[in-house]
Homo-oligomer: A and B are copies of this chain.
Amino acid sequence: MVESRLIGPVRVVGAGLLGTSIGLGLRARGIDVILADASPTNLSIAVDYGAGRAATAGDLPQLIVVCVPPDVTAEIVARELAAYPRAIVTDVASVKLAPLQELRVLGADVSRYIGGHPMAGRERGGPLAGRADLFVGRPWVVAAHDAISYQQATAIDDLILDLGAILVEMSPEEHDRAVALISHVPQVVSTIMARRLTDSAGSALNLAGQGLRDVTRVAASDPELWVQILGANAEPVRDILLAYRVDLDRFIDALEAPAAPGARRKVAEELAGGNAGVARLPGKHGQDRRFVSLSVMVDDTPGQLARLLNEIGEVGVNLEDLRLEHSPGAQLGLAEISVLPEAVGRLTEELAARGWRIAG
């Protein structure tokens, strides 16, 4: 076990997915974690799960992490700042300006509050979904403001380091604009697309491929949480949606008279703009062009995919990405494998020689 730099106890308020995961991660480092939750059931599950202990009267936490829904974050942070006048308080809400403003209105001592936002989550919530490794390798935004910088809150630094996350410093405004673009607007765009499917013929949906599934995947997210997020970050989200609508209107106009002079060029420019946007995304998925993919047919049975990946390992080729695709009603799927361009020829040959069917 690597020694933690955190010394005093850490109090985690809210034993849902994030709070429980933080507790588990810190406990694994041997840190004293004090858990609190408005629900005694949630609290006892998280304690039984090993995420920390229940609070006692004499607790003097060094750091308090508030992990409650965005709507009540400021209220709970203010309460904690008042109850523990020597502790640094942070939170994990997906918006950062609204809670800070609310705290100022409440007259809270914001010189001891610095907001945080770990870019991690799961499709499931609740303490039982908690994982000690939830934050490993993920960006964790710390939102410095006039009254405190993250250097003045070294406990935050230690927390993020202990949980294996990557500290990213931003102002609250910068954070909120960033997540509006990379998370909140994509949620809205996906939701509105998915909504179009509700009044369509089932025969149309039977033709759906991976493209539609990808575009609408996040539309399955929890409405209750998203109402809070979008409400608390309404202005940056609305600004981007207004710019989105300008582009949408241009597209709609170009399609009104698709044979008119210039209409094709307009549509082509929009499509090229989309290409350019995707190319700016960092990471393996965003830099797809560095890799080439080949699709291998696999039976829909246990062990088949393992055998394939085993043999790719034997060939000595590193898998850069992998996706499974299933056809409706088919007993087989396609494993789409991304590898470096220089490896694809050899891999294709070797797999074919081992009897794999290379598909489309």
Give the Cβ gap from A358 to chain B, nearest Cβ, in Å.
Answer: 6
Per-position binary interface string of chain A over residues 179-216, scored 1 when its CB falls under 8 Å from any chain B CB and 0 otherwise: 10111011111111111111011111111111111111
Nearest Cβ in chain B — how far from A230, in angstroms? 6
Let me know if A258 is at the binding interface, CB within 8 A.
yes
Q: Is the CB of B195 within 8 A of A247?
A: yes
Does A107 sit at the interface, judged by CB under 8 A?
no
- Whether B227 lies near A218 (C-beta < 8 A) is no
Q: Check if A280 is an interface residue, CB within 8 A of chain B.
A: yes
Contact B271 A360 (CB under 8 A): no
**Given contact pairs A177-B204, A182-B209, A248-B248, A310 touches B303 in the complex (Cβ within 8 A):** yes
Docked-complex contact A136 and B282, CB < 8 angstroms: no
- B359 in contact with A134 (CB, 8 Å): yes
Q: How many chain copies?
A: 2
Per-position binary interface string of chain A over residues 227-247, scored 1 when its CB falls under 8 Å from any chain B CB and 0 otherwise: 100111011011011111101
A302 touching B292 by the CB < 8 A rule? no
Nearest B residue (CB) for A235 = B255
- Flag if B277 contacts A258 (CB, 8 Å): no
A168 to B204, CA, bound (A): 10
The residue of chain B having its C-beta at the shortest distance from the C-beta of A195 within the complex is: B273
Residues in B neighbouring A238, C-beta threshold 8 A: 252, 255-256
A209 with B119, Cβ < 8 A, contacts A267-B230, A317-B302, A357-B133 known: yes
Nearest chain B CB to A270 CB, angstrom units:
6
- The residue in A209, A274, A329, A358 that gathers the most chain B C-beta atoms within 10 A of its C-beta is A274
If the complex has contacts A196-B243, A248-B241, A267-B227, are A219 and B306 also in contact, measured as CB distance less than 8 A? no
* A326 close to chain B: CB less than 8 A: yes
Question: A208: shortest Cβ distance to chain B, in Å?
Answer: 5
Find out whether the CB atom of B283 lies under 8 angstroms from the CB atom of A208: yes
* Complex-state Cα separation, A179 to B312, whole angstroms: 36
Report yes or no: A131 in contact with B360, Cβ–Cβ below 8 A: yes
- Residue of B135, B198, B213 touching A360 (CB-CB under 8 A): B135
Query: Cβ of B191 and Cβ of A274 under 8 Å apart?
Result: yes
What are 8 A-to-B residue pairs whose CB atoms are below 8 Å?
Answer: A168-B207, A178-B201, A191-B273, A193-B277, A194-B274, A220-B274, A231-B259, A322-B323
Closest 10 CB pairs of A and B: A137-B330, A134-B360, A303-B313, A137-B327, A191-B274, A194-B277, A306-B309, A178-B204, A223-B271, A219-B274
